[in-house]
């Protein structure tokens, strides 16, 4: 029992001896699996469904475990470390990272694997706890939604003042980004923020001088 406690203590506090046996490797992998599954769960909760990839989430688990074993292997053998470095240098990773958040999770998985492999699994647990709190706090921070874009196709009219008066009345902010004129039509591209988008679009569509109206938006965010 005392030997098991000593082994557990060494795996958590970085007190690996010069000889790491199968039992130490197994213990390091157990901690690595624990942290990797935790990363898998956090990734599934944080990442938006439109970008979520189960294959990538499973990859995070695999990367953590592989890194753990690699670190254990190379830290006691210069020859193996050079071989691993040479092998990694010729590998080309062609899979594109979809999101910068995915990159963070990948580094998290690698860092956790290194910590577990070097016998400081306690640091991996602390990192995972603190990083989870930070990520969820920043996710909950309020953000301003990105402005919408209005594309208005009009015939030539003498009511431009009324058009902009309605925009001022219904929009908290608007800015004309482009104005294209032909002999018969005038087209506006307007960036705007409004809490009455539906009312504004119905009102403008009912005007005789408006031929067509389109409103564009996306799911992005912008900071204060």
Q: Where are the domains of the chain?
A: 2-140, 144-222
How far is Cα 16 from Cα 120, in angstroms, rounded to an integer?
Answer: 9
What was the pLDDT predicted at 40?
93
Is pLDDT at 214 greater than 50 in this prediction?
Answer: yes
pLDDT of residue 105: 92
Instruction: Calculate the dihedral angle through the C-alpha atoms of 30, 32, 33, 38, rounding to the nearest 10 degrees.
Output: 130
- Structure-token pair, residue 211: 């031929």
pLDDT of 223 > 50? The answer is no
Q: Is pLDDT at 209 greater than 50 in this prediction?
A: yes
CATH topology of domain 144-222: Alpha-Beta Plaits (3.30.70)
- Position 19 scores a pLDDT of 60
Which of 72-81, 83-92, 142-151 is predicted least confidently? 83-92
Give yes or no for residue 183 having a pLDDT over 70. Answer: yes
């Amino acid at each position: 029992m005392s030997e098991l406690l000593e082994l557990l203590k060494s795996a958590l506090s970085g007190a690996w001896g010069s000889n790491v046996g199968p039992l130490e490797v197994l213990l390091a992998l157990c901690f690595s699996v624990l942290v990797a599954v935790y990363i898998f769960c956090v990734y599934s909760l944080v990442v938006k469904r439109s970008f979520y990839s189960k294959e990538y989430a499973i990859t995070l688990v695999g990367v953590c475990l592989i890194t753990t074993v690699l670190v254990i292997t190379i830290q006691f053998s210069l020859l193996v470390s050079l071989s691993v470095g040479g092998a990694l240098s010729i590998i080309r990773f062609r899979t594109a990272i979809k999101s910068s958040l995915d990159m963070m999770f990948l580094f998290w998985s690698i860092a956790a694997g290194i910590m577990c492999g070097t016998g400081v699994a306690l640091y991996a647990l602390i990192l995972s706890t603190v990083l989870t709190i930070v990520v969820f706090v920043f996710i909950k921070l309020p953000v301003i939604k990105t402005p919408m874009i209005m594309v208005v196709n009009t015939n030539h009219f003498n009511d431009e003042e009324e058009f902009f008066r309605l925009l001022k009345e219904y929009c908290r902010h608007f800015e004309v980004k482009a104005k294209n004129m032909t002999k018969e039509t005038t087209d506006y591209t307007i960036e705007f923020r409004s809490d009455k988008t539906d009312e504004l679009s119905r009102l403008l569509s009912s005007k005789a001088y408006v031929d067509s109206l389109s409103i564009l938006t996306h799911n992005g965010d912008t900071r204060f």
